Structure 1
Amino acid sequence: MCGITGIFAFNEIGRFNLPNLSLATEELAHRGPDHQNIYVDDYVGLGHRRLSILDLSSAGNQPMSSHEGRYQIVFNGEIFNFQQLRKELVSNGISFKTECDTEVLLQMLILYGEKALDKLNGFFAFAFYDVQKQEMLLARDRYGIKPLYYFEDEDRFIFGSELKAILKFGLEKKVDSNALYTYLQLNYLPAPLSMVQGVKKLMPGNFAIVKKKSVVTKTWYKLADTFDQRFEGAYDEAKEKLSFLLNQSIERRLVSDVPLGTFLSGGVDSSVISALVAEKTDHLHTFSIGYKGHSYFDETEYANAVAKHIGSEHHVFQLSLDDLYAYLPKMLGHFSEPFADSSALPVYALSQLTKEKVTVALSGDGADELFGGYNKHAALHRLWNAGMKEKAVASLGSLWSSLPKSRNNPFANTIRQLNKFSAAYKLDYKEQVWLLASLQSARATTDLLSNEMLGIIDFEAFDVWKDEALSHIKGPSLSQALQLDQQLVLQGDMLHKVDSMSMAHALEVRVPFLDHELVAFANSLPEHYKVNGKMKKRILQDAFRDKLPEKIYNRPKHGFEVPLLNWLQNQLKSEINNKWLNPDFIESQGCFDNEGIAALKKKLFSSNPGDSHAHVWALICFQEWWQRFMK
């Protein structure tokens, strides 16, 4: 787990950027505190920051060169089947000088080229350079677990693990208007979008070939293909196979030369992972976050019950709103583009505190998108199997819209959900899925943007992108909705959050649910194995029911949320009014409309805030980013 960056100069003008490589590499110091080095030739530079996980000796440092120096690689991630691949390479007469997976990846690419990608089980972003051919291969893992940004113009190709590294090469910094329009609707930016004009994210499952006069991107893994297979076995057979595949995935992810633990929130996903890891290790450390004085958001009761059940040494970090406030400036500084999932804040805190004990943590991320764990999945099931109760709820839309709504207490949150369900009931299948996947409508978004910004947004291009993202949704299909979540929410929100916040503290987080063999199996399962009228993530809960205490089952879904509304209405009220959303600042910035911002602030501080706190938080995250990187 590391940070990578580099440049491929196409001409003499591009070569002037090579001295910036050291600055760009240093910008990634938090991702790899153990070693820094660069490789430079006439037209290519590669930079690397190392977090040592396997083969802790200096032999594993990067950039890594082949024996004769023809090939160079910088690599971020882990190849979990590297020992098996190493044996294959040895049988082909290849010798090794290290015990790490980087050298295995290097030799695989030398032997097989881009075809090596299909053989890899792991998560990764890397750049592989053939000095003799003057050709570079860059690739990203199947699901976008590891990030890879890039920029190209007529003079140069630049890449990096984070946007802030690319900005060190002196790009002209302009806000991408379509990215801002998308961000305000989703609260995150899915690949290939970035907030800086001209910078893109390499799509998950894609690779790029860079030569002196061209950059060509291709797809090596198609997520859609995993939905074409159909599991034909019985439910009990599916449970057994799921258990086998998840146990196998965890065993692969326990290989480490440094201390290892698990995140344990008390939800089913992290509890299953922790229980299975506990069976395979002698002494497991588990870690969770709680909130002082905010029981509605606190899940430590369940995490403690699981830890006691599996016999782990459990560490609970109880945070107050003041504690969260103290973490805020540094947390926002680690996002080199705006990101408004507020659960990033506790993940940041949890990662910092976890790193005091271990260097690698396993998490339960990915299970919701594979097995249908979100409340919206239950809502879609009800929409598409509506009975008298659902029709009655939908018919009371005017009532729900008139009642107070917020995420801050159970009653107001229920009203919020019923209001959204009623709105979705009137739409077609695609728009139902989109409504439940987004946090703000297109109309509400345009109300927040300035006339100047609205004038440069390419709305037609956005509609084309949205239509393409929803193109596979042909009818009332949960599998098709899950495919959208895996394409957008998983890579753009959940994985980006965990990577950014954990790597802020040089903590490696591994995600067993996203082993590609397990993903293919999960996506082949019948929908009713996942969600029915009574249960979400049905097969996951049933397959491991005997591993966990009964109290964690069949309780309300609770995301890794923070008491954001209370926080914004109190501790941050002054900064909202006088700093982030100050009318003079808004006017001088030119991105937002003061009338729209004023209306949003009024709603936030009212007795019926709805989702306004999420929209204000998105603006805060953007403003902090803009002042740090664009002003």
Structure 2
Amino acid sequence: MCGITGIFAFNEIGRFNLPNLSLATEELSHRGPDHQNIYVDEFVGLGHRRLSVIDLSSAGNQPMSAHDGRYQIVFNGEIYNYKQLRQDLTSRGVTFQTESDTEVLLQMLIHHGADALPQLNGFFAFAFYDVQKQEILLARDRYGIKPLYYFKDEDRFIFGSELKAIMKFGIEKKVDANALFTYLQLNYLPAPMSMVKGVKKLMPGQYAVVKKKSVEINNWYQLKDTFGQQFSGTYNEAQEKLRLLMNQSVERRLVADVPLGTFLSGGVDSSIISALVAEKTNHLHTFSIGYKGHSYFDETEYANAVAKHIGSEHQVFQLSLDDLYTYLPKMLRQFSEPFADSSALPVYALSQLTKEKVTVALSGDGADELFGGYNKHAALYRLWHPGLKEKLAGSLGFLWNLLPKSRNNPLANKARQLSKFAEASKLDVSEQVWLLASLQSGRGVTDILSDDMLEEIDFEAFDLWKSGTLNHITQPSINQALQLDQQLVLQGDMLQKVDLMSMAHALEVRVPFLDHELVAFANSLPEGFKVNGSMKKRILQDTFRDKLPAKIYNRPKHGFEVPLLSWLQNQLKGDINNKWLSQDFIESQAIFDVEGVEKLKRKLFSSDPGDSHAHVWALICFQEWWNVFMK
């Protein structure tokens, strides 16, 4: 696990940027504290920061060169099947100088080019340079577990694991208005968008070939193909196959030459991963976060029960709101573009504390998007299979709108959910899915943007992107909703959050649920195996019910949330009014509308805040980013 960056200069003007490579590489030091180096020739530069996980010797350092110097590679990630690939290459006469998966990847690319990509089981972003052809091949893994940003103009092509590395090359700092419009609706930015105009993210399952002044992008993997396959066996047969695939996936992800543990939140997903790892290791360390004085958000009771059941050495980090406040400034500076999923904060804290014990942690990310674990999946099922209660809930929208709504306590949260359910019941299928996938409506966003920024938004382009994103949702189908979640939420929100927060502390996080064989199987299953009227993640819970305490099963979905509303209304109120969202600051930026922001603040500090805290948090994250990187 590492950080990579580089530049391909198209001309002499582009070559003036080569000295910036060292600065860009240093900007990624948190991702790889163990080694830094660069490769430079006349027009190409590659930079690498290493976190040593496999083959800890200096022989595994990067940029790595083939023995004749023709090929160079910088690589971020892990190839889990590298030993099998190495055996195949060895049988063909290839000799190896290291024990690293990097050298196996290098040789695979030398011998197979882009055709090597489907043979890789792992997660990665890399740049492979053929010195003789003057050509760079860049690629990103199937699901976007590892990030890869890029920028191209007339003079140069630049890439990096994070946007902040690209900005070290002196690109123009201009906010992309369409990206801002999207971000304020979703609270994150899915690929290929970035918040800086001209910078893009390579999409999951894509590779790019850079030569001369051209950049050609192709798909080597397409998620939609996995939904075209249909599992024809029984429910019991599906359980058996799921058990097999899960065990194989976990086994692959235990390969490491450093200490390893698991995140254990107390939810079903991380508990299953921890239980499977415990069966395959002698002494498992598990880690979780708790909240002092906020029992509604605290799941340590369940995490402790699982740890006791599987016999792990469990460590709970109990945090107060004041503790979280101390993490906030450093966490916000890890985002080289705005990101407003507030659960990033506990992931940041958990990663820092976990790194004190281990270098690699396995997590349960991905299960909700594969098997239907979010509350919105239950809501969609009820919208599409309405009984008397659902019809009544949909018709009483006027009543739910009168009730105080927030995420801060069970009753107010239920009112919030019922209000959104009633709103969704009046929409067509694709708009229902979009509503439940977003945090704020387009109209809500336009109310808080300045006239100047609204003029810059290409609404036609946004509508085209949105319709293309939703075009597979043609009928009421949980599987079609899950496809959207895997394309949008998983890569743009969940995986970006875990990558940035864990790599801020040089902690590698592996995600067994996203083994590509397991994903293909899950996406082939009938939706009834996943969600029905009484259960989410049905097959996942049924398959592993015998491995875990009964109390963790089929309980309400909680998520890795923080007491954000209470925090914003109290500890952060002064900073909101006098710093991030002060009238003077808003006026000087000319990005947001002063009255629109004031109205949002009044909502936040009222007795009926609704989702305003999420919208204010998105603005805070943007403002902090703008101050650090754009001002």
Query: Which residue of the partner structure matches residue 150 of structure 1?
Result: 150
Q: Secondary structure at the match of 1:307?
A: helix
Counterpart CA distance in 2 for 1:411 and 1:61 is 55
Counterpart CA distance in 2 for 1:545 and 1:80 is 28
Counterpart CA distance in 1 for 2:517 and 2:66 is 31
1:575-599 per-position Cα deviation (integer Å, ceiling 9, x unaligned):
0000000001000101000010000
Report matched runs for 1:518-597 at 5 Å.
518-597=518-597
Counterpart CA distance in 2 for 1:160 and 1:445 is 30
Counterpart CA distance in 1 for 2:521 and 2:214 is 37
Counterpart CA distance in 2 for 1:213 and 1:290 is 52
1:43-97 per-position Cα deviation (integer Å, ceiling 9, x unaligned):
0000000000000000000000001000000000000000000001001100000
Letter in 2 for 1:72: Q
Counterpart CA distance in 2 for 1:288 and 1:598 is 37
Q: CA deviation at 1:309?
A: 0.1
Counterpart CA distance in 2 for 1:510 and 1:462 is 33
Counterpart CA distance in 2 for 1:503 and 1:626 is 22
Counterpart CA distance in 2 for 1:448 and 1:413 is 24
Report matched runs for 1:154-193 at 5 Å.
154-193=154-193
Q: Secondary structure at the match of 2:295?
A: coil
Counterpart CA distance in 1 for 2:624 and 2:280 is 43
Alignment partner of 1:498 is 2:498 = yes
1:127-165 per-position Cα deviation (integer Å, ceiling 9, x unaligned):
000000000000000000000000000100000000000
Q: CA deviation at 1:509?
A: 0.0
Query: Which residue of the partner structure matches residue 21 of structure 1?
Result: 21
Letter in 1 for 2:169: F
Counterpart CA distance in 2 for 1:176 and 1:630 is 12
Counterpart CA distance in 2 for 1:96 and 1:156 is 34
1:337-381 per-position Cα deviation (integer Å, ceiling 9, x unaligned):
000000000000000000000000000000000000000000000
1:477-502 per-position Cα deviation (integer Å, ceiling 9, x unaligned):
11000000000000000000000000
1:11-66 per-position Cα deviation (integer Å, ceiling 9, x unaligned):
00000000000000000000000000000000000000000000000000000000
Counterpart CA distance in 2 for 1:240 and 1:79 is 26
Query: Which residue of the partner structure matches residue 48 of structure 1?
Result: 48
Query: Which residue of the partner structure matches residue 38 of structure 1?
Result: 38
Report matched runs for 1:480-499 at 5 Å.
480-499=480-499
Letter in 2 for 1:367: A
Counterpart CA distance in 1 for 2:406 and 2:422 is 16
Query: Which residue of the partner structure matches residue 425 of structure 2?
Result: 425
Alignment partner of 1:201 is 2:201 = yes
Letter in 1 for 2:66: S
Q: CA deviation at 1:212?
A: 1.2
Q: CA deviation at 1:449?
A: 0.2
Q: CA deviation at 1:213?
A: 1.7
1:322-350 per-position Cα deviation (integer Å, ceiling 9, x unaligned):
00000000000001000000000000000
Letter in 2 for 1:529: F
Query: Which residue of the partner structure matches residue 354 of structure 1?
Result: 354
Q: CA deviation at 1:399?
A: 0.3
Q: Which runs of 5+ in 1 are unaligned?
A: none
Query: Which residue of the partner structure matches residue 106 of structure 2?
Result: 106
CA RMSD for the aligned pairs? 0.3
Report matched runs for 1:291-306 at 5 Å.
291-306=291-306
Q: Secondary structure at the match of 2:447?
A: helix
Counterpart CA distance in 2 for 1:442 and 1:308 is 47
Letter in 1 for 2:51: L
Query: Which residue of the partner structure matches residue 266 of structure 2?
Result: 266
Report matched runs for 1:284-363 at 5 Å.
284-363=284-363
Letter in 2 for 1:217: I
Letter in 1 for 2:572: L
Counterpart CA distance in 2 for 1:92 and 1:252 is 24
1:424-455 per-position Cα deviation (integer Å, ceiling 9, x unaligned):
00000000000000000000000010000000
1:102-135 per-position Cα deviation (integer Å, ceiling 9, x unaligned):
0000000000000000100000000000000000
Query: Which residue of the partner structure matches residue 436 of structure 2?
Result: 436
Letter in 1 for 2:134: Q
Letter in 2 for 1:259: P
Counterpart CA distance in 2 for 1:604 and 1:207 is 44
Q: Secondary structure at the match of 1:622?
A: helix
Q: Secondary structure at the match of 2:232?
A: coil
Letter in 1 for 2:202: L
Counterpart CA distance in 2 for 1:264 and 1:522 is 23
Letter in 2 for 1:188: Y
Counterpart CA distance in 2 for 1:88 and 1:140 is 23
Q: Which runs of 5+ in 2 are unaligned?
A: none
1:169-192 per-position Cα deviation (integer Å, ceiling 9, x unaligned):
000100000000000000000000
Q: Secondary structure at the match of 2:380?
A: helix
Counterpart CA distance in 2 for 1:602 and 1:585 is 17
Counterpart CA distance in 2 for 1:100 and 1:74 is 13
Query: Which residue of the partner structure matches residue 9 of structure 1?
Result: 9
Count of aligned pairs between the two proteins: 631
Counterpart CA distance in 2 for 1:418 and 1:406 is 12
1:453-476 per-position Cα deviation (integer Å, ceiling 9, x unaligned):
000100000000000000000010
Q: Secondary structure at the match of 1:435?
A: helix
Counterpart CA distance in 2 for 1:551 and 1:135 is 56
Counterpart CA distance in 2 for 1:402 and 1:6 is 55
Q: CA deviation at 1:387?
A: 1.1
1:264-284 per-position Cα deviation (integer Å, ceiling 9, x unaligned):
000000000000000000000
Counterpart CA distance in 2 for 1:523 and 1:213 is 39
Q: CA deviation at 1:554?
A: 1.6
Alignment partner of 1:139 is 2:134 = no
Counterpart CA distance in 2 for 1:306 and 1:215 is 49
Counterpart CA distance in 2 for 1:591 and 1:105 is 45
Query: Which residue of the partner structure matches residue 73 of structure 1?
Result: 73
Letter in 1 for 2:5: T
Q: Secondary structure at the match of 1:193?
A: coil
1:496-552 per-position Cα deviation (integer Å, ceiling 9, x unaligned):
000000000000000000000000000000000000000000000000000000000
Counterpart CA distance in 1 for 2:524 and 2:296 is 36
Counterpart CA distance in 1 for 2:225 and 2:246 is 21
Counterpart CA distance in 1 for 2:483 and 2:443 is 26
Counterpart CA distance in 1 for 2:212 and 2:314 is 53
Counterpart CA distance in 1 for 2:187 and 2:397 is 25
Counterpart CA distance in 1 for 2:7 and 2:554 is 51
Q: Secondary structure at the match of 1:430?
A: helix
Q: Secondary structure at the match of 1:296?
A: helix
Counterpart CA distance in 1 for 2:161 and 2:345 is 20
Query: Which residue of the partner structure matches residue 278 of structure 2?
Result: 278
Q: Kindly, what percent of the aligned residue pairs are identical? A: 82
Query: Which residue of the partner structure matches residue 64 of structure 1?
Result: 64
Q: Secondary structure at the match of 1:574?
A: helix
Query: Which residue of the partner structure matches residue 462 of structure 2?
Result: 462
Counterpart CA distance in 1 for 2:165 and 2:150 is 10
Q: CA deviation at 1:6?
A: 0.1
Letter in 2 for 1:30: H
TM-score normalised per structure 2: 1.00
Q: Secondary structure at the match of 1:316?
A: strand
Letter in 2 for 1:39: Y
Counterpart CA distance in 2 for 1:341 and 1:570 is 20
Alignment partner of 1:116 is 2:116 = yes
